[in-house]
Amino acid sequence: MSGFYNGMAYILVDTNGASGPNIAGRDYWVLSLYNDAVIDSGVTEACRKSSTCDPVEERESYYSNCDDPGNAPDGCFGRILNDNWEMNY
């Protein structure tokens, strides 16, 4: 599944397809693909281009969504990517 949101493409990745357990942030994630080919999650295209927005702060705020089952899988991929590919949540 994929789409566009806030000037970036998003891609839903399910590492094991229809097989269980299908837990957000454990075996499926949302990735963001930016116009400059960067893959990450949590920073809007507008923030990446703005001199008044702090991308690190916006990213950290988005990552906190991973701790909330109602928001998962939002933020979980970015946490894994930036925590040396470990699920530290």
Model confidence band, residue 3 (pLDDT cutoffs 50, 70, 90) = low
Residue 58 confidence (pLDDT) above 70: yes
What percentage of the chain carries pLDDT values higher than 90?
Answer: 0
| Helix/strand/coil for 83 | coil
pLDDT for the residue numbered 7: 66
End-to-end CA distance of the chain: 25
Q: What is the pLDDT of residues 44-57, one digit of tens each?
A: 878 888 889 998 88
Residue 20 confidence (pLDDT) above 60: yes
Please name the residues in contact with 59: beta carbons below 8 A apart, sequence gap of 6 or more: 40, 41, 42, 43, 78, 82
Task: Please name which of 35, 43, 66 lies closest in space to residue 77, comparing C-alpha atoms.
Answer: 66
pTM of the model: 0.68
